[in-house]
Amino acid sequence: NAGVMQNPRHLVRRRGQEARLRCSPMKGHSHVYWYRQLPEEGLKFMVYLQKENIIDESGMPKERFSAEFPKEGPSILRIQQVVRGDSAAYFCASSQGGSNTGELFFGEGSRLTVL
Amino acid sequence: QKEVEQNSGPLSVPEGAIASLNCTYSDRGSQSFFWYRQYSGKSPELIMFIYSNGDKEDGRFTAQLNKASQYVSLLIRDSQPSDSATYLCAVLSGGSYIPTFGRGTSLIVHP
């Protein structure tokens, strides 16, 4: 499958635990975007990364959230000390270059539930 | 703050009818406009994009753009039950690499 791969698809955490979400972009793509989607809401931009660089993190909460896209391996969105409000679907998307065409290819999402 | 507004719906149309989905945006510098379809529990997928004022047709889908009115729409002709999904409008400002999404409009096509 050459598409965007996200795992885990579903993750359950208790308040205070850490959540790690992984995203492998489409083959040949070097740019990764993370979006969050709450029920009945649209996609909210979080962070845009290239390999080893964070290009734009203006949508990331200042605390507890971090993202990386190392030279080798998937991009990781990390949420420390999760709270119930973090429960959402987290979508990763990739593009070949910077998405100045706006076309993003999305993964199936990781659905985080915080108990 | 760049905003993209959509009526959340649901919009309900009978099979075979034309479904009209609308989107307005706040940033006059917006240059590229996209419609994504998202089935329940699935990922968004791009179905149409438009850059210039006017209409763009692709099969049963037509995107319409009016930059003066800051308005973009998606028409689906001969609607099918399989078109039932949430349609997300996305807007890209000039010089930006980050599309801004609306909250989506839920479309229900009933037999």
pLDDT tens-digit series, residues A42-73: 899 999 999 999 999 999 999 999 999 999 99
Arithmetic mean of pLDDT, A27-39: 91
- Rounded mean pLDDT, B27-53: 93
Chain B hits for A98, Cβ within 8 Å:
97
Name which of A32, A101, A105 to mutate to probe chain B: the one with the most chain B Cβ atoms within 10 A of its Cβ. Answer: A101
pLDDT score at A99: 55
Query: Residue A21: which of A8, A38, A33, A35 has the closest Cα?
Result: A8
Residue A1 has pLDDT above 60, yes or no: no
Kindly tell me if the per-residue pLDDT of B13 is higher than 70: yes
**Quick one: pLDDT band at residue B9, thresholds 50, 70, 90?**
confident
| B109 Cα to chain A: minimum distance (Å) | 19
Residues 6+ apart with CB under 8 A from A71: A51, A52
By CB atoms closer than 10 A (0-12, 13-18, 19+), residue B76 is buried
Cβ of A48 within 8 Å of Cβ of B44? The answer is no
- Do residues B7 and B26 make contact, with C-beta atoms less than 8 angstroms apart? no
In this model, does residue A40 exceed pLDDT 80? no
Amino acid identity at B50:
I
Chain A positions with Cβ closer than 8 Å to B: 4, 31, 33, 35, 40-45, 48, 55-56, 91, 98-109
Q: Give the pLDDT of residue B60.
A: 97
**pLDDT tens for each residue of B78-107:** 999 999 999 999 999 877 888 999 999 999
What is the predicted pLDDT for the residue at B95?
A: 78
B34 backbone φψ class: left, alpha, beta (φ>0; ψ -120 to 50): beta
